[in-house]
Amino acid sequence: MYNMLSWDDMCLVHAIAEAGTLSGAARTLHVSHPTAFRRLNRLERKMGVRFFDRARDGYTATTAAEEVAALVRRMRSEVLAVERRIAGRDLRPSGTLRVTTTDTLLFGWLSPGLRRFRSAYPDIRLELVVSNDVFSLSKREADIALRPARNPDESLVGRRIGTIAQAAYIAKTMAKESDCVEAFASLNWIGPDESLTYPAYDRWLEDEGLVERCRIRVNSVYGMLAVTRDRLGLSVLPCYLGENDEQLSRVGGEIPTMATDLWILTHPDLRKTERVRIFLDHVADYAKSSQFGLVK
């Protein structure tokens, strides 16, 4: 009886196996390094098993530790699945809704729609996760994701609510009489850096012969907007940003090859939850009625 693994024991082994170091596991578990060290030693004495081979460069999991870590992952997955199913039975238009989207979509397009949603459904509390990272809906990091995507995750459900139009923009004080992209080919261009993962932009720069003129790389679309405003060069931006910025002028027409579908997605277990369903419908209706650079 005294040799049974507790949940805390299993979480400790899992954290060390995932981090590969005791200090990394301690940070994950929000305990001190000495505390994690004592707990591991006590656990190995209690079980009479060595869970890790210890070396200066880290901790290597033994077969015993690998089995425990795999069990923790399975148990956490099952718990998350139960939570989603329980949440999916909630038919009240109330509770907390965690929504993740990008900074540009929130500030440049979605925010007015959220104001209308809050007015219509005051009992639904919104938690907004503003990030360009992809959050996992299966792990309940968010309930709903609003994302530009060409091929959304097939394990999720939702709908395409529009297409984000894109065009080239320049600071008005730099603009000339011609509105053709070719007229600005000799100027500096602004593009995404590798961390932004924007293959459509990179292909367009290459197709237009502008790769060598792309002298500034930025890791966010808002960053590209800022340096465009400040006369550092031209950039391609979502039209919902560029058209509503008084300091910018469009160069040429929309760029069809850079248009991106806008999706609103959730996990299948949550689609019948009332607050989720209401939010999906509300944002889809808002997309139909808005004129902020979305092509229907």
For residue 14, which phi and psi values (nearest 5 degrees)?
A: -60, -45
Q: What is the mean pLDDT of residues 128-138?
A: 69
Helices (H) and strands (E) counted in the chain, each on its own, are 10, 13
Domain that holds residue 232: 166-258
CATH number of the domain where residue 253 is located? 3.40.190.290
Residues 213 and 234 in one domain: yes
pLDDT value of residue 268: 85
Residues 267 and 125 in one domain: yes
Look at residue 53 and tell me whether its pLDDT is greater than 60.
Answer: yes
CATH number of the domain where residue 110 is located? 3.40.190.10
Q: Which of 56, 87, 118 is the last residue of a domain?
A: 87
Task: Indicate the number of domains in the chain.
Answer: 3
Residues 100 and 160 in one domain: yes
Residues 52 and 117 in one domain: no
* Range picked from 83-97, 137-151, 272-286 for highest mean pLDDT: 272-286
Task: Classify strands 166-171 and 95-101 as parallel, antiparallel or unpaired.
Answer: unpaired
Q: Is residue 127, in this structure, part of any structural domain at all?
A: yes
* Maximum pairwise Cα distance, the chain: 84
Residues 250 and 272 in one domain: no
Residues 99 and 47 in one domain: no
Task: Classify strands 124-130 and 95-101 as parallel, antiparallel or unpaired.
Answer: parallel
pLDDT band at 141 (very low <50, low <70, confident <90, very high): confident
Q: Which of 69, 87, 105 is the last residue of a domain?
A: 87
Q: Is residue 132, in this structure, part of any structural domain at all?
A: yes
Q: How many CB atoms lie within 10 A of CB 143?
A: 22
Give the contacts of 148 (CB within 8 A, at least 6 positions apart): 102, 105, 164, 260, 261, 262, 263
Give the contacts of 68 (CB within 8 A, at least 6 positions apart): 5, 10, 13, 14, 17, 51
CA-based torsion, 75, 78, 84, 86: positive or negative? negative
Q: What is the pTM of this model?
A: 0.64
CA dist 207 and 214 (Å) reads: 13
pLDDT value of residue 279: 93
Residues 139 and 272 in one domain: yes
Q: Which of 70, 87, 104 is the last residue of a domain?
A: 87
Residues 146 and 265 in one domain: yes
pLDDT band at 269 (very low <50, low <70, confident <90, very high): confident
CA-based torsion, 201, 237, 292, 145: positive or negative? positive
Please name the amino acid found at residue 295: V
Residues 53 and 97 in one domain: no
Portion of the chain with pLDDT greater than 70, in percent = 88
pLDDT tens digits for range 90-120: 555 678 899 999 889 998 899 988 998 999 8
Residues 133 and 273 in one domain: yes
Residues 83 and 93 in one domain: no
Q: What is the mean pLDDT of residues 189-209?
A: 91
Q: Is residue 2, in this structure, part of any structural domain at all?
A: no
Residues 30 and 174 in one domain: no
Q: Is residue 1, in this structure, part of any structural domain at all?
A: no
CATH number of the domain where residue 44 is located? 1.10.10.10
